Amino acid sequence: MPREAELSLNEREFLLQALRENVRLDGRPFDTFRNVELKFGEEYGVADVQLGKTRIVVRVSCDVTAPYPDRKFDGIFNITTEFSPMASPAFEVGRPNESEVILSRILEKAIRRSSALDTESLCIIAGQKCFAVRADIHVLDHDGGLVDAACIALIAALQHFRRPDVTVEGENVTVYSLREREPVPLAMLHHPLCVTFSYFHSGEVVLVDATLAEEQVRESEVIVTMNRHGEICQIAKYGGSPIDAVSLLTCTSSALGKVQALWKYIQEKLDEDAKKRDAGGLMAELSAENAR
């Protein structure tokens, strides 16, 4: 497998010099995201996110299985990230590289361990049957910012997904297909989103949403996961040069604005999609959802 093409010394110096003069190669201000574009598929639970040139498709699906014996009241939720050579020839099939491991670990902590998805609501009969929800993350195009893009796609897909409706009579479980009964949305407790900060020039320059070229020359990164209420789910910093604590505080406060803007965008797109599906205006009658 070929290695990821590294930036040449000239390109590296140029990029760093430009940053010192407060210019980014793509002309963005330091604290803005690239253009985010979110599309939903025909089916429930398919989200296609384009962040600049990075493109990620997330597909959420579910089936009925037996829960883990030590967690009888919980359903199962899994996130799979597997890179393919489509995103970059440096990604080898069946051999996860560093960025793949980091992405899956960050998402695991950001979404699963922050219990964004209420797994108890996936339980059908305690200890016997539950829903197993899985999210497959497909990276189609890689131009940096994988963590942020994957997180947006995953949250949007989970929020868009509908699981089939079930009824329980004693020991008998009936799972209704999408045609028989209006499917039910997942119970999401909150919506954490990730914002990555990249540090240059020993902490003097901080960038939001670095491109692949910027990622290759940065000194360190800090990933802040936060929901729109400003609750921090995780702060991850894997190695790199040290940064001071005050800078972390500015990170978290600027992350809040970004997360709120992103969530607003996701919500808008979800509403748009719901309106498109709700052609006859019958959705309110069909829905089996209880008011919380």
User: Where along the sequence are the contacts to other proteins (CB under 8 A)?
Assistant: 1-2, 41-43, 46, 53, 55, 57, 59, 61, 80, 82, 84-89, 93, 134, 136, 138, 140-143, 178
Classify burial at 281, counting beta carbons within 10 Å of its beta carbon; exposed 0-12, middle 13-18, buried 19 or more: exposed
Closest separation between CB of residue 4 and other proteins, Å? Answer: 10
Identify which of residues 2 and 170 has a Cβ nearer to other proteins in the complex. 2
Identify which of residues 143 and 148 has a Cβ nearer to other proteins in the complex. 143
Residue 132 CB neighbour total at 10 angstroms: 16
Closest separation between CB of residue 53 and other proteins, Å? Answer: 5
Closest separation between CB of residue 144 and other proteins, Å? Answer: 11
Query: Which helix (H) or strand (E) element contains residue 173?
Result: strand 172-175
Closest separation between CB of residue 2 and other proteins, Å? Answer: 4
Identify which of residues 4 and 74 has a Cβ nearer to other proteins in the complex. 4
- What type of residue sits at position 195? V
Whole-angstrom distance, CA of residue 283 vs CA of residue 42: 17
Nearest to 222 by CA among 201, 207, 204, 202: 207
Provide φ and ψ at 26, rounded to 5°.
-95, 10
Identify which of residues 96 and 203 has a Cβ nearer to other proteins in the complex. 96
Closest separation between CB of residue 13 and other proteins, Å? Answer: 24
Identify which of residues 27 and 94 has a Cβ nearer to other proteins in the complex. 94
Place of tokens 């008011």: 291
Whole-angstrom distance, CA of residue 120 vs CA of residue 153: 23
Opening angle at CA 225, ends 220 and 231, nearest 5: 135
